[in-house]
Amino acid sequence: MSFMRKLKRLIHKGGVKLGLVQQHSLGSITDDPRINVPAEEYDRINKAKRYYQDNLDPVEYWTTAGKQKRKLNSLNVLKSASNALASLMFNERCSIKVNDSKLQNLLDDIFKDNNYYLDQETHLETWIALGSGAIRPYVENDKIKLSWANATEVYPLEANTTQVDQIAISRKLQKIENNNVVYYTLLEFHQWGDLTTDDQGRQYRPYTITNELYRSGDPNNVGEQVPLSYLDEYADLAPTTTFSHLEKPLFAFYRNAGANNKNLVSPLGVGLCDNWFDTVDDINEVHDGFEWEVKTGYRRVSIPRSWVRRQSNMNGKTIPEDQQYFWDPKDAVFVPVNAKNDDTTTAFRDLSINIRNEQYEGAMDFFLRELENDLRLSPGTFTVAPSGIQTATEVVTNNSKTYQTRSSYLTMLEKTIDQLVYAIAELLQDGELWSDGKARWNGDLDNLVITPDFADGVFVDREAQRSADLQAVQAQVMPKIQFIMRNYDLDETEAQKWLQQIQDEQSPTPPDQEMSMFPSEGGVNREQEDNSSSNDAESGSNS
């Protein structure tokens, strides 16, 4: 930190103490009057976050030494289910196309620089688990960067609507100052102003981005507002930036498909398992119980007291005669209750128990099938497939329920992608954001067509598709080049080459050329035979 930065901090602190600087503080982010989402929504989201991070309460149990605690040996089905659904929805094979070649080239470069197609799948997993998320494109060093946020960092400014066009996004940093941990929270507000008219008579709604920084020594408290210059990371950040003629917001918001039944006026989505945590708890309890039974199910025996040797001294201290009997420190051995010192009649007994693997397996399958039904996923998603080896048609049929669920979620993701492309296009059109003052794209947003390709091939029976397409070609309702592109994953140029090669191979060969290609017996071709015959006939006539 520079000397000037430290000096500004001291001046600010002095101004606060003297009352010359008005200090604004927040206990939690939802205390800000601009945010209209109930605080209870973030309690729900934080619960889903704990399950997603596998940060669950320990198991309490009793032993002869009293009450004990241990870590729950859980099966993180929320992580697994969210990951599976995100992978089915979006992966590196997906693509985003627009009907403008210049913008397409710019988008391809931006997505490549930001590793978008891989990062989108990763962040989509978190969005699905927690219910919501957002992407914020911004310009830095003449490049467009993408900033990601999950549901715990997204705060819509309006309630009772599913159309989120005003939002606050939070960012938290942890610093060590004077050997103490200090927490900083940056709040970035995106707000539309009232309709106004510019000097040329055009009406517009100003779009304002406001940045506020808060500082606290308590991780559960947002703290006091401080200048952005408090941190090097935000020193160059403008407190307020206003855009005059934007048509779309400069962020993209995502929410899970389906209604929010936890809060009917909240624009935030419901997490994947928010309605099914009881089932998740049952799965974790069965899994933990089985693991604990395996761990504690090793052999135990009961022996007569007379078989036990007594340790008379430990660490230099004398041990009373009625204590410290042992068989072997490495064995789990018990002396029967009320056994006398001279008791030799008590028989050796094996106290080992049989592990109830079949019962646990049946219970686990039951709860996993219940979760598959709750999440609207196909049977066999978490459990064993309905049958052993399956044909492609059976796979498609069995996955139909998952495909329907995926389609619902993809509808919401497609809206997010549209918002992201529009936001990027708005930044490209604003020359003031670029060092040379020139816009990177001047197209028409109203005529922009955005087409995401989500690579549905994973759910398609390729053999059935190829057979149906072949019949369409034979019926002359599908062009051959489209058949080649669709069934062999070729672009139009390569497919055209294939088609030309096929036509060349199928083109008829002239009969005389074809005859000359095949030699006759004795190594003489038919053309030579014909010439020989004609010569013989000619010589015969001459004679």
Whether residue 208 contacts residue 196, with contact meaning beta carbons closer than 8 Å, is answered with: no
Do 184 and 86 fall into the same domain? yes
pLDDT band at 392 (very low <50, low <70, confident <90, very high): very low
Amino acid 28: pLDDT: 93
Is the pLDDT at 386 greater than 60? The verdict is no
Percentage of the chain with pLDDT > 70?
74
Could you tell me the end-to-end alpha-carbon distance of the chain, in angstroms, rounded to an integer? 119
Torsion sign, CA atoms 329, 335, 341, 342: negative
Amino acid 354: pLDDT: 80
Amino acid 198: pLDDT: 86
Q: What is the C-alpha to C-alpha distance for residues 316 and 303, in angstroms, rounded to an integer?
A: 28
- Which residues are bridge partners to 317 per DSSP? 314
Report which of residues 538 and 49 the model is more confident about.
49
Q: What is the mean pLDDT of residues 279-290?
A: 94
Do 218 and 347 fall into the same domain? no
Nearest to 257 by CA among 410, 124, 77, 90: 410
Do 212 and 251 fall into the same domain? yes
285 part of a folded domain: no
Is the pLDDT at 413 greater than 90? The verdict is yes
Provide the token pair at 211.
């940045």
| Most confident of the following: 94-108, 156-170, 477-491 | 94-108
Is the pLDDT at 389 greater than 70? The verdict is no
Is the pLDDT at 13 greater than 80? The verdict is no
Ramachandran angles phi, psi of 196, nearest 5°:
-140, 175
Q: What is the C-alpha to C-alpha distance for residues 254 and 249, in angstroms, rounded to an integer?
A: 14
Amino acid 307: pLDDT: 62
Whether residue 316 contacts residue 352, with contact meaning beta carbons closer than 8 Å, is answered with: no
Of 317, 334, 352, the one marking the end of a domain is 352
Burial zone of 424 (CB within 10 Å; 0-12 exposed, 13-18 middle, 19+ buried): buried
Report which of residues 475 and 256 the model is more confident about.
256
Amino acid 292: pLDDT: 85
The 3 state secondary structure assigned to 394-425 is: HHHHHCHHHHHHHHHHHHHHHHHHHHHHHHHH
Is the pLDDT at 376 greater than 80? The verdict is yes
Ramachandran angles phi, psi of 205, nearest 5°:
-110, 115
Identify the domain containing residue 225 by its residue range: 24-275+405-450
Of 414, 429, 450, the one marking the end of a domain is 450
Do 324 and 444 fall into the same domain? no
53 part of a folded domain: yes
Q: What is the C-alpha to C-alpha distance for residues 16 and 12, in angstroms, rounded to an integer?
A: 6
The tally of domains found in the chain comes to 2
522 part of a folded domain: no
Do 249 and 129 fall into the same domain? yes
Do 327 and 205 fall into the same domain? no
44 part of a folded domain: yes
Q: What is the C-alpha to C-alpha distance for residues 231 and 209, in angstroms, rounded to an integer?
A: 19
Whether residue 453 contacts residue 91, with contact meaning beta carbons closer than 8 Å, is answered with: no
Do 200 and 320 fall into the same domain? no
12 part of a folded domain: no
373 part of a folded domain: no
455 part of a folded domain: no
Whether residue 74 contacts residue 281, with contact meaning beta carbons closer than 8 Å, is answered with: no
Do 175 and 221 fall into the same domain? yes
Is the pLDDT at 464 greater than 60? The verdict is yes
Whether residue 255 contacts residue 140, with contact meaning beta carbons closer than 8 Å, is answered with: no
Do 309 and 247 fall into the same domain? no
Q: What is the pLDDT of residues 323-363, one digit of tens each?
A: 544 444 444 555 554 445 455 555 666 766 788 888 989 99
304 part of a folded domain: yes
Nearest to 435 by CA among 171, 140, 41: 140
Report which of residues 266 and 491 the model is more confident about.
266
Amino acid 21: pLDDT: 45
Going along 178-257, which residue ranges are E strands? 180-192, 196-197, 203-204, 207-216, 223-226, 240-243, 252-255
Do 172 and 64 fall into the same domain? yes
Relative to beta strand 143-150, strand 132-140 is antiparallel
Q: What is the pLDDT of residues 155-212, one digit of tens each?
A: 999 876 778 999 999 999 999 988 899 999 999 999 999 999 988 888 999 999 999 9
What value does the mean pLDDT of the chain take? 82
Q: What is the mean pLDDT of residues 253-268?
A: 93
Do 158 and 302 fall into the same domain? no
Do 310 and 234 fall into the same domain? no
Residues whose CB is less than 8 angstroms from the CB of residue 311 and which lie 6 or more positions away in sequence, other chains included:
319, 324, 325, 326
